Amino acid sequence: MKHTYDVVITGAGPSGLACATELSSKGLEVALLDEQAKPGGQIYRNLAGSSSAQRKVLGKDYAAGLAVLKGFSASKLDYLPATRVWQAEPNGDIFWSRNGASGKFTAKYLVLGTGAMERPVPFEGWTLPGVMTCGGISNLFKDSGYYPSNPLVMAGSGPLFWLVAKHLLDLNAPIKAILNTGSGSLPPFGAMKQMPKAMTRPLYLSKGVVLMGAAKLAAKKAKVPIYNKVTGLAAHGKDAVCRVTAQSKGQPLEFEVATLLIHEGVIPNTSLLRQAGCRHIWNPVQRYWHPKTDADGRTSQEQIFIPGDGAFVHGGEPARIKGQLTALAIEREMRSFTQGEYEKQAAPLRKALAKELLPRPFVDEMYRPATHLYQVPDNTIVCRCEGVTAGSIRELVAQGFTDHNEIKSIARCGMGPCQGRMCGPALVEIVAAASNTNPEANRPLRVRPPIKPVTLGEMANAQLGGDDEK
């Protein structure tokens, strides 16, 4: 097995696939590592193996990924599926586990296409079996055609929330209620200010309006009630969720269910990026930390690039374009072509990306996270790995600890197997609210390798380099 490459890419989503396809077409030695068994990432998950019935439900945006997969399948590179990356270093070293063994690759450049993840938001009962994310149920449908057959409630906000609602309604899933935790049907003031720019892409906007309208119309036909301005969400049960309670405009709600699907938007998946030492900045609208990159995806670490939603959440098509731009920038660095040739190829991509991003400020403002999301009771578990509650975090803040990295060290919130992926966003918000500070005045949670659990057996069977096999 080879151990050294020109470029090692993590993540076989739209950005990683586009980047790998472009780089390999120029004759560069490329390795692509991905946790999934098949290429496509979360957006195009199992697209090549999906049935026509699945693609019909999931729509044209899902099927559009076939062109991306086709280009990738013709590429000459080393593709390692079912591979977990657990460490990346600024010098180009990257460590991974596959088939019960760990290994290390060294590259001139790392492209960390970590993509996005659903925003984890704690609430009473969120750790009960039967509580799932909308993205999780969508992935199950993409993989196996599965969807819930027992009564369920959906709670949350955001484009993916309404998309999954429409899919489940089309499948006649037994939805008892849709609980909208957002601001309601009218755009908030911040979104209205972004409307003029967004209106330059009327087809894009109309697609979103049509999607939400179609979901609400399907809900009306199926006699599924929609409740707006929902707060106080809670799941109840002993061994699994059996009841959901909430409030809508002050009125109590209660439902007997077997499944609760939740979604509160998506955020960049930054664990590997923070571990690698990339500088991060705070976005006050969507309220998340994201790596600071230039237009080509270059980070504060010279050898590390981040394309796609790992840098900032923009969606599938922008991610694909950003992946191509990252590839062109690396090719320029490796002198595969001149600066003039680079500008000639990059210009139309930048123009296309700028067009794609015009409506994003409106969308980000439209689905700004609700202020009440993290106003959870003290007994609510925030860190599921270590069993840390919101009350114990607030108690430490009252004692004068306002740095969430300090609180992590004291309370172990974020020190479990998930390394803070599930509790980190909540920890940041709870500390900020309790200390009356802005998260931007603090710093992102530190992450140390391995960012994913690695067994001693995998380490014992590690392939850590040496001369490449010929």
Q: For residue range 147-160, what is the model confidence (pLDDT) as tens digits?
A: 999 999 999 999 99
Q: What is the pLDDT of residue 433?
A: 94
The mean pLDDT of 280-295, rounded to a whole number, is: 96
Whole-number Cα distances in Å, 315 to 44, 307, 309, 375, 439: 12, 12, 7, 29, 25
User: What value does the CA radius of gyration of the chain take, rounded to a whole number of Å?
Assistant: 22
Buried b (16+ CB within 10 A) or exposed e, 254-279: ebebbbbbbbbbbbbbbbbbbbbebe
The mean pLDDT of 11-20, rounded to a whole number, is: 98
Amino acid at 162: W
pLDDT at 189 > cutoff 90: no
How many whole angstroms separate alpha carbon 268 and alpha carbon 273?
Answer: 10
Task: Look at residue 381 and give its three-state secondary structure.
Answer: strand
Q: Which residue bears the tokens 């739209």?
A: 14
How many whole angstroms separate alpha carbon 26 and alpha carbon 69?
Answer: 18
Q: What is the pLDDT of residue 470?
A: 40
Q: Give the range among 103-107, 180-184, 406-410 with minimum mean pLDDT.
A: 180-184
Task: Look at residue 152 and give its three-state secondary structure.
Answer: strand
Q: Which of 157, 190, 192 is nearest to 370 (CA)?
A: 157
To the nearest 10 degrees (0 to 180), the angle between helices 424-435 and 390-398 is: 40
To the nearest 10 degrees (0 to 180), the angle between helices 316-333 and 339-357 is: 160
Structural contact between residues 258 and 132, judged by C-beta atoms closer than 8 angstroms:
no
How many Cβ atoms are within 10 Å of 400's Cβ, its own excluded? 8
How many Cβ atoms are within 10 Å of 77's Cβ, its own excluded? 18
The number of helix segments (H) and strand segments (E) in the chain equals 17, 21
Looking at residue 144, what DSSP letter applies?
H
Amino acid at 445: L
Q: Give the range among 58-62, 288-292, 392-396 with minimum mean pLDDT.
A: 58-62
To the nearest 10 degrees (0 to 180), the angle between helices 424-435 and 404-411 is: 110
Which pLDDT band holds residue 336 (cuts at 50, 70, 90)? confident
Beta-strand ranges (E) seen in 293-391 are 304-305, 381-383, 388-389
Which pLDDT band holds residue 210 (cuts at 50, 70, 90)? confident
Structural contact between residues 289 and 282, judged by C-beta atoms closer than 8 angstroms:
yes
Residue 453: partners with Cβ closer than 8 Å, 6 or more residues away: 417
Q: What is the pLDDT of residue 184?
A: 62
Structural contact between residues 10 and 114, judged by C-beta atoms closer than 8 angstroms:
yes
Structural contact between residues 45 and 316, judged by C-beta atoms closer than 8 angstroms:
no
Q: What is the largest CA-CA distance in the chain?
A: 70
The mean pLDDT of 419-425, rounded to a whole number, is: 94
To the nearest 10 degrees (0 to 180), the angle between helices 65-73 and 14-25 is: 40
